[in-house]
């Protein structure tokens, strides 16, 4: 039931943002959040955030995806995990482009800094939560200790939050783009994880 409640909650957030993203209220919220993150001007912090942000970039996603496919193929001795993570990232990418094409929100305007494509929802956030969420899930499934599993999920959560913050400090997205990306990606992650559990359980009689 937790997955159902979580999915319902994320759907509310996502659809609320979709229908209000072009309103003055959201614009004011984004402006306030933008001013807060613009205050982060420590060179060391910006360098770290920029590095973390690379994990959510196209290059970072591809590298992480390829490495995870190879690692999980050896770790699980099965094609289900590599196939699942590949399909998940593919669907996240397609879904993100679909949503951006429908909503057509322009990116933040920063003189001398132009980025192609629409802004909502953030691809870094949406694809990132699906990829790194599955990576954490598959790693955690191989750890016996509950504390160890929790540590894995906490690390994944921190990485995702830093990816989101990096997009804001670099001026690539609005605050609500990030929230929308996490909400959309979270929904997809829950749905695909449930499908994976169902299929693997049916095929093997167990979840791992």
**CA–CA distance, 205 with 208 (Å, rounded to integer):** 9
**CA–CA distance, 143 with 119 (Å, rounded to integer):** 38
Long-range contact set of residues 110-114: C-beta below 8 Å, sequence gap at least 24: 110/171, 113/171
Label residues 40-61 b or e (16+ Cβ within 10 Å = b).
eeeeeeeeebeebbebbbeebb
CA angle 89, 144, 207 (to 5 degrees): 50
E strands present in the chain? none
DSSP 22: T
pLDDT in tens, the chain (208 residues): 778 888 889 999 999 999 998 898 898 888 888 777 766 655 555 566 666 667 777 788 888 899 999 988 888 888 888 899 999 999 999 999 999 999 988 888 765 556 677 889 999 899 999 999 999 999 998 898 889 999 999 999 988 988 888 887 777 788 999 999 999 999 999 999 999 888 877 665 554 4
25's enclosing H/E stretch is helix 24-38
pTM for the whole thing?
Answer: 0.86
Residue 125 near residue 177 (C-beta atoms within 8 A): yes
Q: What is the pLDDT of residue 52?
A: 67
């Amino acid at each position: 039931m937790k997955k159902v409640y979580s999915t319902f909650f994320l759907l509310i957030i996502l659809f609320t943002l979709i229908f209000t993203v072009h309103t003055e209220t959201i614009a004011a919220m984004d402006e306030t959040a933008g001013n807060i993150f613009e205050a982060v001007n420590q060179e060391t912090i910006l360098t770290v955030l920029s590095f973390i942000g690379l994990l959510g970039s196209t290059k970072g996603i591809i590298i992480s995806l390829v490495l995870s496919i190879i690692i999980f193929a050896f770790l699980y001795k099965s094609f289900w995990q590599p196939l699942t993570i590949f399909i998940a990232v593919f669907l996240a990418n397609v879904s993100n482009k679909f949503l951006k094409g429908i909503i057509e929100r322009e990116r933040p305007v920063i003189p001398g800094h132009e980025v192609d494509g629409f802004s909502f929802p953030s691809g870094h956030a949406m694809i990132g939560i699906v990829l790194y969420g599955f990576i954490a899930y598959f790693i955690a499934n191989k750890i016996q200790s509950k504390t160890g599993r929790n540590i894995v999920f906490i690390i994944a959560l921190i990485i995702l939050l830093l990816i989101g913050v990096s997009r804001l400090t670099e001026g690539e997205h609005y605050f609500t783009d990030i929230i929308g990306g996490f909400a959309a990606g979270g929904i997809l992650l829950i749905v695909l994880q449930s499908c994976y559990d169902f299929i693997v359980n049916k095929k093997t009689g167990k979840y791992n």
